[in-house]
């Protein structure tokens, strides 16, 4: 599977947080997040393992009881079922990989 750059297809999860599937396989899922400064991703947990890389911007990322200021080039790992949240300090772009794939983030039918 290949994915060419396309600025469409983002889905808003919560205000200020949009996600788009880039590519996926049987056991992993590669997504891009667009995060608007001043918003937050509320505390939550899911069964998926998650790794991420901040392309641009800055966020305060809380994983379990630890909080980190994440800047471009930084990365993270979140085990399944561990609570995490993010405070978006400035407009940011993050790339995340989930395993297994998140069906709730998969693109819908093309219209």
Residue 95 has pLDDT above 60, yes or no: yes
- Cα 58 from Cα 46, distance rounded (Å): 23
- Please give the model's pTM, rounded to 2 decimal places: 0.92
pLDDT for 3: 86
Q: Is the pLDDT of residue 18 over 70?
A: yes
Reported as a single tens digit per residue, the pLDDT across 75-86 is: 999 999 999 999
The domain defined by 12-102 carries CATH number 2.60.120.10: yes
pLDDT at 110: 39
**How far is CA 91 from its chain centroid?**
14
The domain locations on the chain are 12-102
Average pLDDT, the chain: 94
- Nearest CA-CA partner of 76 in 100, 101, 98, 54: 54
Q: At residue 68, does pLDDT exceed 60?
A: yes
Q: Measure the CA–CA gap between 62 and 25, rounded to whole angstroms.
A: 28
Q: In the predicted model, is pLDDT for residue 43 greater than 60?
A: yes
Among the listed residues 65, 97, 64, the one whose alpha carbon sits nearest the alpha carbon of residue 81? 64
């Amino acid at each position: 599977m290949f994915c060419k750059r396309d600025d469409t297809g983002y889905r808003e999860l919560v205000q200020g947080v949009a996600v788009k599937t880039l590519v996926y396989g049987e056991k992993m899922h590669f997504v891009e997040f667009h995060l608007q400064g001043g918003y937050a991703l509320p505390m939550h947990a899911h069964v998926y393992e998650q790794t991420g890389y901040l392309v641009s911007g800055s966020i305060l990322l809380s994983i379990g009881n630890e909080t980190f200021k994440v800047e471009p080039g930084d990365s993270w790992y979140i085990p399944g079922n561990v609570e995490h949240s993010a405070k978006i300090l400035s407009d940011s772009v993050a790339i995340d990989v989930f395993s297994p794939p998140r069906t709730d983030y998969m693109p819908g039918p093309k219209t």
